[in-house]
Each structure stands twice: as C-alpha cells, then as structure tokens.
Structure 1
Amino acid sequence: MTTFQKYCRRGVAVAVLAAVPLASNAQQVTGGGQTASQRHAAAAALQLPDITVFGTFDPNVRKATAIVNGDIITDTDVDHRLALVMIANSGNVSHEEKEVLRLQVLRNLIDEKLQIQEAAQNEVKVPEEEVEQAYSRVAANFRQSKEAFEVFLRENGSSPASIKQQIRAEITWNRLLRRKVEPFINVGDDEVQAVIRKLEEAKGKDEFRVGEIFLSATPETQGQAMADAARIVEQVRNGASFVAYARQFSEASSAALGGDLGWVRAEQLSPALQGIVTALPRGGVSDPVPVPGGVTVIALVDKRQVLSADPSAAILSLKQMTLPLPDNITEAEARKLAANMQEKTRNMGGCGKADEVARSIGAAIVSNDQLRMGDLPQQLQQILGQMPIGAATPPFGSAQDGLRVLVLCGRDDPPANANVPSFDQVYGQLNDTRVNSAARRYLRDLRRDAVIDYR
C-alpha cells in the first residue's frame, strides 16, 4: 500500500561511521559538563575498534513494529504476513525487495487495525465460526485440509492467525461499509437504463475481464506510490501471483476478490486506462498508471465482444486419446510416434472411429461431454475454435504425461445475448463503484486521525 506521509516516510540508507578529527588543544564543553578531550579519553578507554555498520536503516521506522491507537503490531505479525507474499512469489524475492515489501506489509496491517477498530466502535461483530468457514475455503483453494494447510503455513514462516486476521478485517470492513456507507449511496433507475442502452449500442465491441491493484496517494506521495507499484509489476511479470498481490496491497474494494473487476468496457474505466486495456494482450500486466487519488496497475484476464456469443462459454463434447511414452524414449522416437498418431487420427472419420483408432495405436481413451472451452489452455482453445465437428487436434503432451489428441464430437455455442447484464447486475456494479470510492475516503480519514507510534 502507498505511503501516508504523515505517518510513514520511507528513507533507506547504509550507515557508516566516520572519524571526526579533533583539534589537539580543543577544550569545548558539552551540555553534560565534559570537555571534548575528556569524552575522547573515555571513549578510548572502552577500546572500541574501528567499525563499519552494514545493513539498512530507516530513520522513521526503526523496527517493523507499530502501535495503532493503542493496538500493537509486532515483528511476528509482519513476518507472518510477509511470508504469505513470499509464498505467492515462490520465495523468489531479493533481499532489497523483501525490505520494501516488509514496509508495505506493515502499512497494510496498520490499515487492518484501523478498519477493525472502527468496526468495533460501531459494534460490528463477526462470529469466529464465519472466520473459520472462510479460512477453510482458503485451505480448499490450496487443495489441503485445514490441518495440512496449517502445517504448510508454519513450514513457510506464516501462521493460520495471520490469514484469519486478514479475513476478519475484510469481513468487518465490508459489513461496516454496508451499515454506514452503502445506505447513503444512490443509484437511479435512469442511470441503470442508460448503461444498458449503451451496452446495446456497443454490441459487437470489445469488453475486457480486468484485474486491478490500486494504491492511494496524495500529490506528495505520488512518486513513492509509483515506485511501489513498479516493484509489484516487476514481481508479477516474473511469475508472482497478481491475485495474491491484489489481496495484500490493493486499496480498492476489489482486493477481497483478488482485484477482479469483472467484465468492463474500455469507456467504463478511468480515461487514463482506456487506451492501455485495449492494447494489453491476454494475461498482460500494465505499467503503473497515475489516476485520480493514486496509482493503478491493471491485468487483462480475458477479452470478448459485447452482447456477442462468447466462444469461451461453448460447451464441448470431446474424446481424449492418451499414448504413454517409455521412460528412456529419445526425442526423435517421440516425434516419430507423434507423427504416426497424427496420421492415424487426421482422417479417421469422426468420433465413431475414435475407439477403434485408439486401440490400434495402443492409446487409452476417455470421454467428456461437459467441458467448457474457456477451461482449456489458450493454445487448445485457438485450435478447437477453428475445428469442424469430428476433427482431431495435433498431438500434444510431454514425456511425463504422454502424447494426447482431442477429438471434437460436438459443440454447444451460447446464444448471442447470453452475456447481457440484468438490471440488478448493472445496478450492483454502479453501486459497488460508488461504495468503493466512499470507502477510500473513509479509510483516508481514519489514517488522518490515527495515533500511530513506530517503535
């Protein structure tokens, strides 16, 4: 999250001791009553060697510990939350980057404290059962039981308590916004209808599935926010999880969803982002972009046309042939097998012959009649999207998985207007946008009024 200058102004330096020559006859008296020569003699009596101090030093945050309106954030809290970021990066973070992330994590924890404190003052409570249920869902996302996930977190330097604290802050903050902010947000029916009319007029134009990371900033902290966002972009482009960074550092309400904004048209975004989103490739991440109130980074998850049939929503009926490869097979031998497999499947006469052809080449075969096009790898989507019914893909696979061929037996395309948003969906999107803006102002005011003591 970006630096709030009143409370945290980052400046990292390497401290090096330098000798200051003293005049031999100087007899200056210090406030403590000792002359300079007396103090010099006392220091000499300690027999201190010449030293060089290595490492980083921040004059404002001497330790990654803070007291927020009386509530303590410990070094352990920061370490455990930082470990979650390291997990998202598979540990591939330099020492210098880790120190920067540590300060960002601390600022994030401060905001969580402020959110939980404000919720408590307004008697907003979240039952522990609800937190545990959300924690179980997180563990399930990692395909682990709660017990196994706890072991995984501890082995990687984090803890269940750190994730539960983040979950608790998200739930309480959202409930507080529903109580104190959302009732005062007004979205008129005419506004909703206007959006729907624009969608109908934009039929056939591109719309985008976008993820965002928003870092708030004042004019004074804009440069620092841009630098923080640039580091996030670098990590994501090197393989880190955009979703994980959005959850940890984004200040938008979409952070709880991993930054997911859903499907939007370019004109629904900030003017500064409109040209950028249209130029991004699928899976691409933008450079940091200055926007009103801060800095935004966007990622393009997917792309489709407004009110047109979405090819990725097509339901496919497929047969898959799998030909295992011997452990000691050479590349030349594998290519020969792939060429033979392609020759056998290219003109086999459709799905009715697939089982017979599979037996003739020693391949296993399985069927799937409910596979969504969008769930396949992008390369296969491009191939299958152009194939007629009964055709087979070229062989693909690996030494471990063997050679595979998909035979297209059927395809159910969605209706052209399947993605028309309902009145309630449009209303919800407009409402969420305004709640999000009000929430940022709310949190800004909490930061301004907070008493934060860095230790």
Structure 2
Amino acid sequence: MMHSLTRRTMTSFLRKALLGATAFALVAVTVPAGRLAHAQQAAPLGRIAAVVNESPITQADVEGRLQLAIVSSGLPDTPDTRKRLLPQVIRILTDEALQVQEARERKLSVTEDELNNALSDMAERNRMTRDQLQQALQQAGVPWSTMRQQMLAQLAWSKVVQRVVRQQVNIPDSEVNAYIERIRANAGKPEYQVAEIFLAVDNPANEQEVQNLADRLVDQIGKGANFAAVAQQFSQSAGAATGGDLGWIQQGQLEEALDRALQQLHSGQFSRPIRGAAGYHILWLRDQRTVAAGDPKNIQISLGQFVVPAPSDPNQQGALFDAVKQLGEGVKGCEALQQAASKIHGAQVFTQPLTKLGDIPEQIAGLVAGLGVGNATQPLVTDKGTMLLMVCDRVVPEGSLPPPDQVRSALFQERMDLQQRRYLRDLRRQATIETRL
C-alpha cells in the first residue's frame, strides 16, 4: 500500500527508478517535499523558456527537469547548482524536442500503451509499481509529466534510430576479421571497463560554458554524487540511458587524449574533464582485465632483442640511451628494427622463437606482456649494454578469442552510437532554436 511507504523509502525507490536497469551504487539524498512549489513561486511556469522549430519549452518544463536531474544525480540543490545546470538542461530539452519532431516528421508515433508499458517496466525493474513511482516523483518535487516526457523522447528517438540510422550501419566481414586480429595482436594487454559522461561542444562560443559544467560535475561526483545518475541526466552519448556505460575498451580504441588518460587511472577512479575532438569526456574506470579469455601465460610470443654494447666512455651513456629511445619510438615491427640496427654502431638484433609467456623470466614477461605486435619497450640499461625488447609475433590459444557474431554486435552498437550522435547534431544545426532565459 502506498501509505505504508516512508519518505526515505520513497526517495530510495525514486533514485533506483531513475537509473533504470543499471546496477550502480546510489548515494542518499534528502529531498525536501514542496521544493517545486517554491520554484513555482520563483518564476512564472507558463513562461516560454525556449522555442525549437516553433515548439515551445516552458519554464515548467525546465524546472521539472532541473529537479529530476538534481534528485537523481545527488547534486546539491542550491541556487548556484541550478544556475550552472540550466544551460545543459535546456540543451537536453531542446534535443528531446528535436527527437520527437523528427519522429513525427517520419510518421513514427509512440502510443499511450507503449509509453505506459515503458514506465511500468522501469518501475518493475526496481520492484515498485508505476503508481509508487509517480508518488515518489511527486514527493521529490518532480512532476509526473517530466518523467513521461523524458520517456516519450527516448521511445520516439529509438524508433527514428531503428528506422533511419540502423539502415545506414553495415559491418562487413573484413571489419570483423580485422577487429579479431587486433584482439589477437593485443592479447595479454590490459583492457578497461569504462563509463563516460560526454558533453558536446558544437559551438566554439560555448566552449567555456561546457568546460565549466564538466568541472562542476566532476567536483560533485568527487563529493559523492552518483556517476551513473549524473551520466543519465547530462551525458550526450547514446550510452547515457545506461549510466554512460561503454563496455570493455582496449588500449588504442579511444582517441589519443582519452586513451592516455584512461591508462593513468586505477579501478574505481574517474578522470577530470578531457577535451576530445567533439567535446568534453569524463571517464570512470570501473574495472580492468587482460585482453582475451583463458590463461595469459599460455599466450605465445616471439621477441626481438635490440642490443647496443655499453660505450667505452661512461659519459656517452646518456646520449646512447636517448638515441636508442628515439629509435624504439620510431620503428614499428621487427623487420624495421633489424634495418634500424645499422644506424647505431655495434647494434645487433636477435629474434627468439615463439615461447609461452609463462616460460619467459617473470621480469621480462612483465615488460612485454602489455605490448602489441611491433611495439618496443623503453630502453633497458644492463651491464651488457642498452637493450630494447619488441614483440615480433603473438599466438593466442584457440578458444580465447570472441566469436565473430559477438564482435559484429559490439562494432554495430559502436557505429550506431556514432551515427545517431551525428544525426542529432545535424538536426540541431538545421533547426531554428531560440532561448529566452
């Protein structure tokens, strides 16, 4: 019965419901009842906040979404927070208006039954009824219409994506095979389970505004705000609905700045905002593992050893080290390493046959296990001279690579995410948008 639920229980249910099917930890937030009434007194809710292709977004829409974002993310409900979140909330509402308009333009409709079923499914996944969800929202000061409108936009856009974007995405066998070969070449290297918050910068004039919001979100996550809930309300990537989840990412799969930042994180840590090609990313490293299933010790590698004898004059060791380092960074592959040996006096290259990682001395295995084929270590100074190690070949045991259909599915989802972001970006560029706040 609804009257038996305490406010604490209601808030807990609400926070879980807003995260949908995700299974991330939640932080407790006390939301005073009646906050929306206070907001109503502060500004006329019938006032037009923005117009998107002649469709109005009212002050009531903005206030409701602000409250939903604050309740679900755990951000402090202060005037400063609301002021900082306002541009992003308007951006989200603008995008949702464009999504619904595009669905209508393509004669794709969301029925009342579809909308109600989606809301009921959200509640059931969190062991509550739709009526309980509705009352929880009301107690938290969030109008039921706010949740319905958010769900309506998600369903409408999903239909557009399936009708339009899906037809544009095709993953050929050659791409699947290349991906599997890349996994084979990287076997033994770390890969990362990542979630992200992505904030686009479509207009250079908004650069500072977006960066400030990204900094603000990171600060609040550091103080206990839930990463997944913040991603769900603010991230502009397709994974926002699932808390920003990107799945498992290999080294080199993300653009260089993101890849470099990811390698510096430990499990459970999140990054400061990182400027990527299209906007700002906040990365959360949820977990880390070794590429390919099975025991990494059974992976076989062939090693190339580039060795330069120690100089007769110890004062020349620094210059030799720098020369070897530069050479190692410039060559790719053991054949190129062999050819480069002629550039340094006395240098020699030795190639070892395929050997299991488990049979290689632990210190050496630790240095090369994370290298892809054709990559070299940093220079190693020994009593015999200065040395580079390079992985010339790598053989992964059968059964440790993912099946092609699994790879195709992962590539398909990645391409769909990229294409629908581009689609929405184009809609935004073609639209007439007027903001009045």
Do these two structures clear the TM 0.5 threshold for a shared fold by scoring above it?
Answer: yes
Q: CA deviation at 1:209?
A: 0.9
- Residue identity matched to 1:428: S
Partner residue of 1:67 out of 51, 66, 76: 51
Matches within 5 A, 1:50-61: none
- Residue identity matched to 1:236: I
The one-character-per-residue Cα deviations of 1:348-370 (angstroms, maximum 9, x if unpaired) are xxxxxxxxxxxxxxxxxxxxxxx
Distance in 2 between residues matched to 1:277 and 1:417, nearest whole Å? 29
SS of the residue 1:220 aligns to: helix
Matches within 5 A, 1:327-342: none
Match of 2:78 in 1: 94
**1:89–1:235 Cα contact (<8 Å) kept:** no
- Residue identity matched to 1:128: E
**1:89–1:241 Cα contact (<8 Å) kept:** yes
- Residue identity matched to 2:80: E
Distance in 2 between residues matched to 1:222 and 1:230, nearest whole Å? 12
Aligned length: 290
- Relative distance call for 1:418 and 1:138 in structure 2 (3 A) is farther
The one-character-per-residue Cα deviations of 1:66-102 (angstroms, maximum 9, x if unpaired) are 1222222122211111112221244624321221112
SS of the residue 2:204 aligns to: coil
- Residue identity matched to 1:434: R
**2:73–2:230 Cα contact (<8 Å) kept:** no
Distance in 2 between residues matched to 1:258 and 1:192, nearest whole Å? 27
Distance in 2 between residues matched to 1:165 and 1:223, nearest whole Å? 29
Distance in 1 between residues matched to 2:58 and 2:155, nearest whole Å? 22
- Relative distance call for 1:229 and 1:299 in structure 2 (3 A) is same
Partner residue of 1:291 out of 263, 276, 283: 276
- Relative distance call for 1:257 and 1:422 in structure 2 (3 A) is farther
SS of the residue 1:221 aligns to: helix
Q: Which moved more, 1:230-239 or 1:196-205?
A: 196-205
Match of 1:177 in 2: 161
Q: CA deviation at 1:111?
A: 0.7
Match of 1:199 in 2: 183
Instruction: Give the TM-score of the pair, scaled to structure 2.
Output: 0.62
Match of 2:196 in 1: 212
- Residue identity matched to 1:433: E
Percent identical among aligned pairs is 36
Match of 1:235 in 2: 220
Q: CA deviation at 1:454?
A: 3.2
**2:73–2:227 Cα contact (<8 Å) kept:** no
**1:64–1:78 Cα contact (<8 Å) kept:** no
- Relative distance call for 1:130 and 1:419 in structure 2 (3 A) is farther
- Relative distance call for 1:75 and 1:142 in structure 2 (3 A) is farther
- Relative distance call for 1:152 and 1:145 in structure 2 (3 A) is same
Greater helix share, 1 or 2? 2
Match of 2:421 in 1: 440
Instruction: Give the TM-score of the pair, scaled to structure 1.
Output: 0.59
**1:213–1:252 Cα contact (<8 Å) kept:** yes
**1:64–1:103 Cα contact (<8 Å) kept:** no
Structure 1 position 151 matched with structure 2 position 135: yes
Match of 2:26 in 1: none
Match of 1:281 in 2: 266
Match of 1:6 in 2: none
**1:79–1:157 Cα contact (<8 Å) kept:** no
- Relative distance call for 1:141 and 1:93 in structure 2 (3 A) is farther
Partner residue of 1:247 out of 232, 239, 243: 232
Distance in 2 between residues matched to 1:167 and 1:417, nearest whole Å? 44
Distance in 2 between residues matched to 1:270 and 1:140, nearest whole Å? 38
Which segments of 5 or more consecutive residues in structure 1 lack a partner in the other structure? Answer: 1-62, 311-415
Distance in 2 between residues matched to 1:64 and 1:233, nearest whole Å? 31
